[in-house]
Amino acid sequence: MINEEAVYYSRILTELTLSFHIIYATLGVGVPLMIMIAHWVGIKKNDEHYILLARRWTRGFIITVAVGVVTGTAIGLQLSLLWPNFMELAGNVIALPLFMETFAFFFEAIFLGIYLYTWDRFENQRKHLLLLIPVAIGASFSAVFITIVNAFMNAPQGFDLVNGTLVNVNPLTAMFNPAMPTKVSHVVGTAYMTSAFVLAAIAAFRLLKGSNHVYHKKALLLTMKVGFIFSVTSLIVGDLSGKYLAEYQPEKLAAAEWHFETSESAELILLGIMNKEGEVQYALRIPYALSILAHGSPTAEVIGLDQFPEDEIPPLYIHYLFNIMVGIGMLMIAVALVYIFSGYRGWYFIDSKPFRWLIVFSGPLVIIAIEAGWWLAEVGRQPWILRGIMRTHEGATTSNDVDIMLLLFCGLYIILGIGSVVILTRMFRKNPVERELAERKGDVPT
């Protein structure tokens, strides 16, 4: 028997948990790579500023890891409590990637601890840098394995369905499903991009607040370069994701692009709003672009929503989420490209307050893009929790206490969110980079 109220609150709580967790999880994947790059550049250039950059980023990273562990644990708990029917059906299939994700995290955590507590213990900094390799690998593979679970939910395979039960399970076939390559690549690439722009926003903010130290300028240049590289790669993978959707989840692509009727030479609808009569207004229409996105040909046929039953069409508001994600991604490419190009050309407007404020705002914007992307991925799969096999309401609990759980977890996330911001702010405000550099040179008492 379906409890509609329990389904509603279960979806709200899961969405809240994932939305909060994804912030810390994304930084947890991307920041280790940024630390490793900064440390490597510092060794290569024999530049203490980059070495210190790696050191300070590592201290802040520890806080995000701690919060990510709590929220990740909450997700695991909620899978069993809120979606017991789904776990009963698919638990033996997703158990392997979930275990591998846990293993990858512990692999990362062990070497992170060693790296953090062995500063100044190595005469050769290259040996210390080697400790970061397993940290970065573990962080990235944590994202890989947990994203494989999500990919399986979108493209389930590797089993036989007999009397409503998954039998003859082949975990490797299930893991390497058609959704895995593009989804994993997009998640990991955007995590690197997001982390780079968040760190760039922090550096730009410190410059705006009067700290004109070269340390922050080097941090800004490094993060903008990395941000540009991975924003471009995310754009390329995004294009491949569109082609995947056209072949395997055409209803999701059609809903995201407001493509209502199957047609050749399909146009791409950007922006716009939908009125009460279901008409699209104020949209930017690009001829042939959807056919190119979906199949790489301007005359290709693209399946529309008219080919699907009404109860299998995802919510049409995912079009707005798609626009937010793509729009912010394109803006980040433009901002980073202008900054890098202008720096080489000697155009100093990039040091102006307006442009630095634009970089500061890029930090929150990329977080919004990440959120929009995950909402697009999850809402776009509706009404399925396991596409084509189990609908969302069939996988949910029938408990009447989910609303109480929602309130309790809201309180937890508020405490974690405020606490992490306060700790990080105080950590770096009480130990500014100018003071730390002076202490390392012995100019002030330690």
The DSSP result for 1-54, as a single string, is ---HHHHHHHHHHHHHHHHHHHHHHHHHHHHHHHHHHHHHHHHHHT-HHHHHHH
Q: Check whether residue 364 and residue 416 sit in a common domain.
A: no
Q: Is position 403 within any domain? A: yes
Q: Check whether residue 278 and residue 394 sit in a common domain.
A: no
Torsion angle defined by CA atoms of residues 167, 172, 173 and 178, in that order, rounded to the nearest 10 degrees: 130
Q: Is position 104 within any domain? A: yes
Q: Check whether residue 240 and residue 374 sit in a common domain.
A: yes
Cis peptide before 181 (omega within 30 of 0): no
Q: Is position 412 within any domain? A: yes
Q: State how far the Cα of 339 lies from the Cα of 23, in Å rounded to an integer.
A: 25
Q: Check whether residue 91 and residue 151 sit in a common domain.
A: yes
Q: Please say which residue of 380, 407, 422 terminates a domain.
A: 380
Q: State how far the Cα of 379 lies from the Cα of 426, in Å rounded to an integer.
A: 38
Q: Check whether residue 2 and residue 106 sit in a common domain.
A: yes
Q: Is position 254 within any domain? A: yes
Q: Is position 201 within any domain? A: no
Q: Check whether residue 138 and residue 282 sit in a common domain.
A: no
Q: Check whether residue 12 and residue 47 sit in a common domain.
A: yes
Q: Is position 437 within any domain? A: no
Q: Check whether residue 146 and residue 9 sit in a common domain.
A: yes
Number of domains in the chain: 2
Q: Check whether residue 270 and residue 419 sit in a common domain.
A: no
Q: Which of 101-115, 197-211, 338-352 has the lowest mean pLDDT?
A: 338-352
User: pTM of the full predicted structure?
Assistant: 0.90
Structural domain range at position 143: 1-179+390-432
Q: Check whether residue 283 and residue 402 sit in a common domain.
A: no
* pLDDT tier at 193, thresholds 50, 70, 90: very high
pLDDT single digits (tens) 104-138? 888 888 888 888 888 777 777 788 888 888 888 98
Q: State how far the Cα of 256 lies from the Cα of 78, in Å rounded to an integer.
A: 28
Q: What is the pLDDT of residue 368?
A: 93
pLDDT single digits (tens) 371-398? 999 899 899 888 988 888 888 888 888 8
Do the Cβ atoms of 155 and 179 come closer than 8 Å?
yes
Q: Check whether residue 367 and residue 417 sit in a common domain.
A: no
Q: Is position 136 within any domain? A: yes
Q: Is position 439 within any domain? A: no
Q: Check whether residue 315 and residue 243 sit in a common domain.
A: yes
**CB-side neighbour CA atoms (13 Å) of 102:** 8
pLDDT single digits (tens) 263-310? 888 888 888 888 877 778 888 888 888 888 888 888 888 888 888 988
Whether pLDDT at 442 is above 80: no
Is the dihedral angle over the CA atoms 84, 89, 92, 93 positive or is it negative? negative
